[in-house]
Amino acid sequence: MAMASILPASSGVGAESDRVLKSMDANRYATKKTIAQGMLDIALLTANASQLKYILQVGEKHEFYGLMLTLISISIILQMLVGILFVVIGSLNINRKPDQTAAIVLNDVILVLIFVISLINVIISGFGIEYSSQPLRLLERVEPSPAATAATLTAAAKPSVASFLLK
């Protein structure tokens, strides 16, 4: 039984020499994949740093301050660990047998860590970082300043145009 060829059939002299097989370099592919995963890790790390900044600005006024601070910190630490493992796995040459075994083990460890990081970030999102672009306004809504309270009382004492039109 003959095997089907995926190469185009060519006729004429030197047909075998015209066929150029380009094999995929698995080592190069793995390196590019590791770099892409590292870039995604950097994006998530940046988001977590922003969330950490917000939660530290709001402080204990945030309803879930302790939980959020803990989860964000764990997520950042695990992401740093994954980043280190990316550097290690990126330096391996998977064309060598000992490196293949190490790469498989490290890949599995990285997969589990990324799953845990994703789970932690889903929980972080569930508790919500609201008003993250304006945390100080959240603080003002929680504890209005005396000047803001006085301004509100003064505005309430003055008749508005809408109340005049409704009469």
Question: What local confidence, expressed as pLDDT, does residue 116 receive?
Answer: 95
Confidence of residue 29 (pLDDT cuts 50, 70, 90): confident
Quick: pLDDT tens for 73-104. 999 999 999 989 988 988 888 888 888 889 89
Quick: pLDDT tens for 99-151. 888 989 999 999 999 999 999 999 988 877 665 455 555 555 555 555 555 54
Asked whether the whole model's pTM tops 0.75, one would answer: no
Give the Å distances, CA to CA, from 18 to 3, 12, 14, 98, 141.
20, 10, 6, 36, 75
How far is residue 120's CA from residue 80's CA, in Å, rounded to a whole number?
15
Quick: pLDDT tens for 108-120. 999 999 999 999 9
Question: What local confidence, expressed as pLDDT, does residue 135 receive?
Answer: 52
